[in-house]
Structure 1
Amino acid sequence: MKVLAAMSGGVDSAVAAARAVEAGHDVVGVHLALSRMPGTLRTGSRGCCTIEDSMDAQRAANIVGIPYYVWDFSERFKADVVDDFIAEYSAGRTPNPCMRCNERIKFAALLEKALALGFDAVCTGHYASIVMDADGNHELHRASAWAKDQSYVLGVLTTEQLAHAMFPLGATPSKAEVRAEAAERGFSVANKPDSHDICFIPDGDTRGWLAERVGAEAGDILDRDGAKLGEHEGAHAYTVGQRRGLHIGRPASDGKPRFVLEVRPKENVVVVGPKAALAITEIAGSRFTWAGQPPESPETPFDCDVQIRAHADPVPARAFVMSDAAGRHELVITPFAPLNGVAAGQTAVVYVGTRVLGQTTIDRTVSAVPVEDAVTAQAR
């Protein structure tokens, strides 16, 4: 096959490209330039896709002996990832920019261009596996090493995208083995730290970065009954589950700490309450997709596992697609045990065994503690 290897400049994508070559594929390496402005992306272990990273990727491509190019995706990245991040926070939601990048850049924009140029597949260094079912359909599964599994951030992939994706590291037992292989191959990135955090916020100050773009206007901090407890300096700076930095003058009647339960940007209000109210018994979202073949009857409740963060443990649940009279559809997920601190905007990925069945962006949640119960508890 003719394969386009997405090379971020890290050890994983370098080894993945090398393995694709050894598997007999005709491989071309490409690095995605996501910003035209130096200093707007993090470097080293604090991000990816910088000039430094592009040079690391080129050195690895030279050793493997494959053609190498840098493609400018900066405009698409700004529109589909950065602007989306700002819009989601402005709406009071908590987005996952890495999920959006995989969805809209690496497996939409990149794959679209690759197919147009005659490539058969895009290869990345993600730890996940693609297998074929008995009918020849592509399925996305967890990697063999669960500690490094990255199937969660790939949950946004569609059936068509899975048919043109390649993950050579999926069966690798550990990251240590990948680093050892990189060293044997002579890759300078063998011991390069993993990237993390948000790549387009150079100094890591998400609160300050958002304040410059969204604005910071003082507003009220309320309890679940609507009583004013204090003031904040900008609702965008708060996330569901946050405890510190609330600066509420008077303590709760029971003496226990309060947590952020909800952010309402249109009203410029932050709602706080007891920790018990962070327990969520139902999540739902209308922006859902299936990774491969959908359930035979998605309107019928089915057992599954749900994962709401990249490094969270999966939780047994039941899910189904609910439709209303207006033709709107919503994936509703009910965990068997309450989830903690779930925020609108997060992604819920649904698994059946090791298989990624699909995902949804969370639009709404249902707390285990109704408002009246929380108010009564705080009044005691």
Structure 2
Amino acid sequence: MCAGVIPADFQLAGPLAKRRIVVAMSGGVDSSVVAALAARSGAETIGVTLQLYDHGEAVGRAGSCCAGRDIRDARAVCDRLGIAHYVFDHASSFRETVIDDFADEYLAGRTPIPCVKCNMGPKFTDLFALARDLGADCLATGHYVRRVEGPAGAELHRAADPARDQSYFLFATTQAQLDFLRFPLGGLPKPRVRELAAELGLGVAAKPDSQDICFVPDGDYASLVKKLRPDAETHGAIVDESGRTLGAHKGLIHFTVGQRRGLEIGGAPEPYYVLRLDPVTREVIVGPKRALAVRAARIEGVNWLGGDYAGPMTAKVRSLAKPVPARFVEGRVVFETPEYGVAPGQAAVLYAGDRVLGGGWIAETERAELASV
């Protein structure tokens, strides 16, 4: 794709000069390129930024999707492109639906994924409504996923660049949202996107990508949870499956299923891992790796995009995990071979090849009884 080519995602029905595209702008290079490509398509383009949490201002550094500097960067890009830019304050909604939920999930012994909750709430639900109110024909974002027109309508597919694919975090996208959304970067590698930003003269072309959860300063999520929920650092025991005490901990918020580091226990006959967390007794239950093997996981809040698909599928239970063969049976993801490190609070996302069939939140797991690793 060169800077003058209209991405397929922007080939809307009817003359583009009479169409309106709203672009979700974070102030980063990805959404800025999307805005530039939308403007070059000939459609009226409007940039929209949600003020969610001013992490950058708070800690004095850039690299967070919601920081004040990022809003200024988004505005500067819109000024250069000659398009309108609006900022909407959704900090209260973000705190309730994302930040508070993040803290409460850790207190409940689960491992949350705030980026999915943000996509489910402020980024898609709220922006979707705003785009509709602005009379848009579509809402475009800089996510690295592909929207493919299938026989039964729009489908969600993995990005062409596996290193940038964000489909796991977008499993909760509804069919109505998918029909309205556009992802013009899904077929591009990130280096090409930066080249496009430079070719288009955008000042953010070399801006670093965000690495942390936007509202967690320096990745220290435990400190944030303690600040929001002072009782989060209630001490407890580290025990094996027989109930024998092996050590002590300073709060469940420091642990997740599958974790090995930081246990600081003695007397174990082999390396031990976190098997589960008990929010009632405040116990961290540990055991050997073979005890982590899971044969199935029950999921809640299922969002299904697969229509009547009933063929072979794979499941992904962590953002960095490889998809593994599985079946979806009555709200349960059943793995073909035992899977390890399946943590309640994370998502199980189902695929048919590159297509996202849907997914849900892992509520509980069923252990596979293995004699050895």
Match of residue 90, structure 2, among 73, 76, 90 = 73
Indicate if the aligned counterparts of 1:42 and 1:200 stay in contact, CA closer than 8 A.
no
Indicate if the aligned counterparts of 1:41 and 1:200 stay in contact, CA closer than 8 A.
no
The answer to whether the aligner puts 1:55 opposite 2:72 as a matched pair is yes
The answer to whether the aligner puts 1:258 opposite 2:272 as a matched pair is yes
Q: 1:1-380 to 2 correspondence within 5 Å?
A: 1-35=19-53, 39-40=57-58, 43-45=61-63, 47-135=64-152, 137-172=153-188, 174-214=189-229, 215=231, 216-248=233-265, 250-252=266-268, 254=269, 256-291=270-305, 293-295=306-308, 302-320=311-329, 322=330, 331-369=331-369
Distance change (3 Å), C-alpha of 1:37 and 1:318: closer
**What's the TM-score, normalizing by structure 1?**
0.88
Counterpart-to-counterpart distance in 2, 1:273 and 1:50:
41
Distance change (3 Å), C-alpha of 1:281 and 1:42: farther
Distance change (3 Å), C-alpha of 1:42 and 1:87: farther
Stretches of structure 2 that go unaligned for 5 or more consecutive residues are 1-18
Counterpart-to-counterpart distance in 2, 1:195 and 1:127:
14
Indicate if the aligned counterparts of 1:35 and 1:41 stay in contact, CA closer than 8 A.
no
What amino acid sits opposite 2:228 in the alignment?
Answer: R
Counterpart-to-counterpart distance in 1, 2:348 and 2:323:
10
Counterpart-to-counterpart distance in 1, 2:175 and 2:110:
27
Counterpart-to-counterpart distance in 1, 2:134 and 2:241:
55
Indicate if the aligned counterparts of 2:138 and 2:182 stay in contact, CA closer than 8 A.
yes
Matched residue SS, 1:163: helix
Counterpart-to-counterpart distance in 1, 2:75 and 2:117:
25
Matched residue SS, 1:20: helix
Number of residue-to-residue matches in the alignment: 353
| 1:357 positional shift | 0.7
Structural RMSD (CA): 2.0
**What's the TM-score, normalizing by structure 2?**
0.89
| 1:314 positional shift | 1.3
| 1:261 positional shift | 0.8
Counterpart-to-counterpart distance in 2, 1:43 and 1:311:
26
| 1:343 positional shift | 0.5
| 1:38 positional shift | 6.9
Matched residue SS, 2:238: strand
Match of 1:327 in 2: none
Matched residue SS, 1:336: strand
| 1:27 positional shift | 1.1
Matched residue SS, 2:242: coil
Distance change (3 Å), C-alpha of 1:38 and 1:8: closer
Counterpart-to-counterpart distance in 1, 2:43 and 2:183:
13
Counterpart-to-counterpart distance in 2, 1:9 and 1:240:
35
Distance change (3 Å), C-alpha of 1:359 and 1:43: farther
Over the matched positions of the two proteins, sequence identity in percent amounts to 42
Superposed CA offset, 1:224-276 (max 9, x none): 1222222111122211111122222x321x3x121111111122111011112
Indicate if the aligned counterparts of 1:42 and 1:202 stay in contact, CA closer than 8 A.
no
Matched residue SS, 1:203: helix
Indicate if the aligned counterparts of 1:41 and 1:199 stay in contact, CA closer than 8 A.
no
Counterpart-to-counterpart distance in 2, 1:41 and 1:317:
43
Counterpart-to-counterpart distance in 1, 2:55 and 2:174:
32
What amino acid sits opposite 1:176 in the alignment?
Answer: P
Superposed CA offset, 1:59-78 (max 9, x none): 11122221011111101100
| 1:311 positional shift | 2.8
Counterpart-to-counterpart distance in 2, 1:115 and 1:272:
50
301-310 or 271-280, which deviates more = 301-310
| 1:37 positional shift | 7.8
Matched residue SS, 1:44: coil
Indicate if the aligned counterparts of 2:55 and 2:216 stay in contact, CA closer than 8 A.
no
Match of 2:3 in 1: none
187-196 or 206-215, which deviates more = 206-215
What amino acid sits opposite 1:332 in the alignment?
Answer: R
Superposed CA offset, 1:314-348 (max 9, x none): 1121112x2xxxxxxxx211122322211100011
Indicate if the aligned counterparts of 2:246 and 2:267 stay in contact, CA closer than 8 A.
no
What amino acid sits opposite 2:308 in the alignment?
Answer: P
Counterpart-to-counterpart distance in 1, 2:338 and 2:95:
36
Indicate if the aligned counterparts of 1:42 and 1:201 stay in contact, CA closer than 8 A.
no
Indicate if the aligned counterparts of 1:93 and 1:343 stay in contact, CA closer than 8 A.
yes
| 1:7 positional shift | 0.7
Indicate if the aligned counterparts of 1:302 and 1:318 stay in contact, CA closer than 8 A.
no
What amino acid sits opposite 2:82 in the alignment?
Answer: G
Indicate if the aligned counterparts of 2:109 and 2:278 stay in contact, CA closer than 8 A.
yes
Indicate if the aligned counterparts of 1:40 and 1:200 stay in contact, CA closer than 8 A.
no
Counterpart-to-counterpart distance in 2, 1:160 and 1:41:
38
| 1:79 positional shift | 0.7
Counterpart-to-counterpart distance in 1, 2:284 and 2:341:
15
Match of 2:12 in 1: none
Indicate if the aligned counterparts of 1:20 and 1:168 stay in contact, CA closer than 8 A.
no
What amino acid sits opposite 1:294 in the alignment?
Answer: G
